[in-house]
Structure 1
């Protein structure tokens, strides 16, 4: 049976005008919901939070929607699906009335093109390029729509949750565990900082400081302390004159004092306390009893986290602590300045000895003292050597080599070549580190 084509006169002009206007209105709603979905998922949370603090009322609606993300997405999808289905039905009905069954294919093609161009690509492209502005403009209407559609959306979400539960899948998109949420927030901040640094909006020094703040909660005291081999100490049995000479020759104002064994720390001598004692004795250094002016030492475990130790320094109003292991053996010392340097980088004053331990060579390699920490080397050279398994560059080589290497031995790992330059007993004291690109260039030039 042939398709019966109804004459155009069977559809009045008013009906055609109604369908045209209704379709345009529905398409407009569809485009707005698509733009809202894109803008409200791409908007900057930090910027909206700050705008709300500054008194921007529209930002309050945006933040509410981001806090109720599942309800927002459900309401937008419900509205978008409804208007697309209704507009498709209206157009297809008119085309079938005009052209019979052939109108079904024509309607499908026409609606597909209109929805794709005017309801998806165009509004979403605009929204993604102007996410904050679009979110602020459309946030309040979307919040009202979410409020009125919440019963339907809740019912749909409940049904979906039941289906997912049958499959053993959690329906909640947000992180429930507080520790996981904190880690996710930290990684988001770190990623944003690195991205802005690559784009040139954040300077390298600022990136290092911001990254240092984020790293504090993952670092232990043992990661940044001054090792016992690098400590300057005073023998409590030394004559006062020698103690004075030792204090004056050091750039530090606080020095540990030991009795007999260097592991037996009995006090901390402050240069100001020694100066006050000299004033009381009217310059007679021999009359000073060193042990009477030393302060009580403060011992902390090497497993203490840097954030906890920073708070402890501030609470106790002291800047110096001695680090011991689980057996009580002295491991090193840490100061408030050491923790601050993890954030702001090396802090030097007019009395500091400028020893960095990092010397860049003309061939692209870098000579590094074994005691230099991996974190400091990464900062100075803008490298990304891992510091999870070792604190110093010498420790990293030993960890990767699984042995104590000999002088002139060469290892390659993590995209770098490591050559042992000096070794004292079982300690690596100097290395030459060459990035893979510089090593390849040197081999090709040879």
Structure 2
């Protein structure tokens, strides 16, 4: 009798477990599939990839429908098995046997096995199961929407509000996380990691973080004779130079060395005959809160590579160039006319001699460190922010797994620091 019961139960149970396994595999493959590859396949005309993209565009509804369908199948299979086995084993024994059997079958064959296969071949499994998933959503989608409505109503009194359109991870953070993961696995080189991260950071940084500070801007007095202006321009080695009159805050134009040389050539080499005011370019002023992404777009649109940065009161704060922004992506750009400052100098003892004006991002890139740059731009600024005062020479501080020693100070400016590598540092 027991054999006959098992034979009668087996076909139905196999079908239900197969349905449950397919739903489990669908859930895992849809959540693990590469969105980038699916979009690429869709652009190449793959209909299965198109279905996958349509399904995961509303992931909450997809997962809800699959979970409801999977639970309906598992509960029905358990109820059917319990009903049949209680006939063969009356009383609690039948229910206990049914519970044990279904637990093993569901966990092993309807959960672990299909999900293991799906996670190993997520993209291919998602494409193969996209059609059954589409029908699952059509059948159980309305129930999933109802369940989501109940969940939101239940959580609302506790101050938890969920949006069906809100992704858990922003696209930029998802890309950044993928880059960091592949870098840790050795699949992305450090330089490529910095470049990709630099592109993502453009929207989060403003021009004040990369500009040349006004104390370091090379300006020329426009009232000087043309010959002196030429000598100063050639001595500085810059292509574009701000020109002021009366006081440095009064910028009247930007002198391009190429324009100056052309004007000298037009004057048959008579430098003193050149009228500087006639060859100056109109200065371009941008707010210090402009994001690097917007400023890069503005540079490309205006075909201008040089802008002066002002604060909310219109006072000059610094200048920013296209090269400054590109260096945030590709690192330091040097040409044959650049004066290469020491900046970051590793020492044999493992410590690093760092100029105070070096940015934290540049130091991190040079040494592959992870000093925070959310509260300060330069290394000196980081030390002052942590100390909440201007340190004295020879003072040493420990934070962020590094030691910082003040080597040189000029007035209120920290000009030279020694920084230890993280492995030799102490905790805060």
Q: Which residue of structure 2 aligns with residue 72 of structure 1?
A: 62
Return 5+ residue gaps in structure 2 as ranges.
Answer: none
Q: Which residue of structure 2 aligns with residue 370 of structure 1?
A: 356
258-267 or 164-173, which deviates more: 164-173
| Superposition map of 1:7-406 within 5 A | 8=1, 13=4, 16-101=6-91, 102-165=93-156, 169-170=160-161, 172-175=163-166, 184-406=170-392
**Does the aligned pair in 1 maintain the 2:402–2:424 contact within 8 Å?**
no
**Does the aligned pair in 1 maintain the 2:244–2:253 contact within 8 Å?**
yes
d(CA) in 1 for partners of 2:69 and 2:250?
75
**Does the aligned pair in 1 maintain the 2:172–2:200 contact within 8 Å?**
yes
Please state whether the residue corresponding to 1:125 is helix, strand or coil: helix
d(CA) in 2 for partners of 1:154 and 1:403?
56
Is the alpha carbon distance of 1:387 and 1:21 closer, same or farther for their aligned partners in structure 2, counting shifts above 3 Å?
same
d(CA) in 2 for partners of 1:333 and 1:160?
53
Please state whether the residue corresponding to 1:297 is helix, strand or coil: coil
**Does the aligned pair in 1 maintain the 2:393–2:409 contact within 8 Å?**
yes
- Deviation, 1:27, is 0.9
17-26 or 360-369, which deviates more: 17-26
Match of 2:413 among 411, 420, 427: 427
d(CA) in 2 for partners of 1:28 and 1:99?
26
**Does the aligned pair in 1 maintain the 2:29–2:119 contact within 8 Å?**
yes
d(CA) in 2 for partners of 1:376 and 1:115?
54
Count of residue pairs the alignment pairs up: 425
Please state whether the residue corresponding to 1:64 is helix, strand or coil: helix
Regions of 4+ moved over 6 Å? none
Is the alpha carbon distance of 1:154 and 1:332 closer, same or farther for their aligned partners in structure 2, counting shifts above 3 Å?
closer
d(CA) in 2 for partners of 1:302 and 1:154?
46
**Does the aligned pair in 2 maintain the 1:43–1:131 contact within 8 Å?**
yes
Please state whether the residue corresponding to 1:265 is helix, strand or coil: strand
d(CA) in 1 for partners of 2:169 and 2:211?
25
d(CA) in 1 for partners of 2:238 and 2:200?
28
Q: Which residue of structure 1 aligns with residue 402 of structure 2?
A: 416
- Deviation, 1:156, is 4.2
Return 5+ residue gaps in structure 1 as ranges.
Answer: 1-7, 176-180, 441-446
**Does the aligned pair in 2 maintain the 1:268–1:297 contact within 8 Å?**
yes
CA offsets 1:2-21 (integer angstroms, 9 cap, x no match): xxxxxx2xx784x6433111
d(CA) in 2 for partners of 1:303 and 1:161?
38
Please state whether the residue corresponding to 1:263 is helix, strand or coil: strand
**Does the aligned pair in 2 maintain the 1:224–1:334 contact within 8 Å?**
yes
**Does the aligned pair in 2 maintain the 1:36–1:138 contact within 8 Å?**
yes
d(CA) in 1 for partners of 2:168 and 2:19?
38
d(CA) in 1 for partners of 2:315 and 2:392?
29
**Does the aligned pair in 2 maintain the 1:34–1:123 contact within 8 Å?**
yes
Taking structure 1 as the reference length, the TM-score comes to 0.89
35-44 or 143-152, which deviates more: 143-152
d(CA) in 1 for partners of 2:307 and 2:149?
56
142-151 or 275-284, which deviates more: 142-151
CA offsets 1:43-83 (integer angstroms, 9 cap, x no match): 22222122211211111111111122233223222222222
- Deviation, 1:161, is 4.4
Cα RMSD over matched residues? 2.1
Please state whether the residue corresponding to 1:389 is helix, strand or coil: coil
Is the alpha carbon distance of 1:182 and 1:116 closer, same or farther for their aligned partners in structure 2, counting shifts above 3 Å?
closer
Is the alpha carbon distance of 1:79 and 1:336 closer, same or farther for their aligned partners in structure 2, counting shifts above 3 Å?
same
**Does the aligned pair in 2 maintain the 1:212–1:343 contact within 8 Å?**
yes
**Does the aligned pair in 1 maintain the 2:407–2:417 contact within 8 Å?**
yes
Is the alpha carbon distance of 1:386 and 1:155 closer, same or farther for their aligned partners in structure 2, counting shifts above 3 Å?
closer
